[in-house]
Structure 1
Amino acid sequence: MLNFTEMYTREQASQLRQTFWTTFGQYIAPQPSAEGLKINWSNYKTGIKDVFFRMHADKKTAFIAIELTQSDPEIQELFFEQFLELKAYLHDILGEEWEWSLHTSDEYGRTVSRIYKEIAPVNIFNKDDWPQLISFFKPRIIALDEFWSDAKYSFESLK
């Protein structure tokens, strides 16, 4: 199997990654948010500090996640518990079960909590995988937005 990243310089790999996210952004741009607004899907803003919807792809896997990055582990756990209260609703809107991980590490060694769905093998550097990646991300980010349009109010007291 070819290792696509070894075929590219760091700049080329960065450019290809950027091209993928631009392509994804253009593909999903016509889709309004659950509230009928224009939205930047690739850089989704939850409106709550340290709560992110992340989409990530590399040379082996891709994932979409709700990521909690509060620096205080106890506060992070409170947010995680609030998401747990909404787990059935979230899974109902997503139409699938996701993984739940309290206090794991991100690629920078920071403690984060994640609710996520992953696929493998996929390679962002292989353009043949882009349709599969787009088909993976698009319905899930739209479903997360639908979930968040109702659920965000449950987090007001934690702000």
Structure 2
Amino acid sequence: MYSREEAKKLKEKFWTGFGQFMALVPGEDGQKINWINYKTGIRHLFFRMDADNKNAHIYIEIAHPDEGIRLLMFEQFQTYRTLLHAELDEEWEWDATYYDAYGKPTSRIGKRLDTRVSVFRQEDWPDLIAFFKPRMMALDAFWSTARYGFDLFK
């Protein structure tokens, strides 16, 4: 078992390495992208990756504090569902009301890695990278087309 500080350092090491690896990958439109902290340009809309000692997740999170606007944004994503899944080449789970670790209501569209992996085992890092990289690139390709449909939420 790792101390809290050791666990924090291992996670930082993974995400720093992943960020350096992905820095070589241009975005769909040819621009440089901070893949770890992807900027959608829409407040309260995030593309997130998470890994812990058991799982890895990638997801679109709609965290608008106004429930009505959050659900409108989720509905807007539903109109792009076919395009999203075509870019991802897989189906993702859709949850209009998801409660985060702090009990805050959000909406999520995401995918969990089906095999058990741990960010704390360096031998699992290639599997984590193989999970995150193509999906983040597909999200970027999707967003380069779909983002204009979300301008009303800016």
TM-score interval for Structure 1 and Structure 2 normalised by the shorter chain: over 0.9
Which of 141, 147, 150 is matched with 2:136 structurally? 141
Find the counterpart in structure 2 of residue 107 from structure 1: 101
What are the Cα deviations for residues 41-88 of structure 1, in whole angstroms up to 9, with x where unaligned?
Answer: 011110100000000000111100000000111110000000000000
Structure 2 gap ranges (5+) = none
User: Take 2:74 and 2:96, find their aligned partners in 1: how far apart are those partners?
Assistant: 7
TM-align CA RMSD: 0.7
User: Helix, strand or coil: the match of 1:42?
Assistant: coil
User: Take 1:156 and 1:28, find their aligned partners in 2: how far apart are those partners?
Assistant: 27
Which ranges of 4 or more aligned residues in structure 1 deviate by more than 3 Å? Answer: none
User: Helix, strand or coil: the match of 1:148?
Assistant: helix
Structure 1 gap ranges (5+) = 1-6
Count of aligned residue pairs for this structure pair: 153
Alpha carbons 2:42, 2:153 under 8 Å: kept: no
Alpha carbons 1:16, 1:125 under 8 Å: kept: yes
TM-score under structure 2 length normalisation:
0.97
User: Take 2:93 and 2:77, find their aligned partners in 1: how far apart are those partners?
Assistant: 12
What are the Cα deviations for residues 6-37 of structure 1, in whole angstroms up to 9, with x where unaligned?
Answer: x2110110000000001111111110011101
User: Helix, strand or coil: the match of 2:110?
Assistant: strand
Alpha carbons 1:73, 1:103 under 8 Å: kept: no
Find the counterpart in structure 2 of residue 66 from structure 1: 60
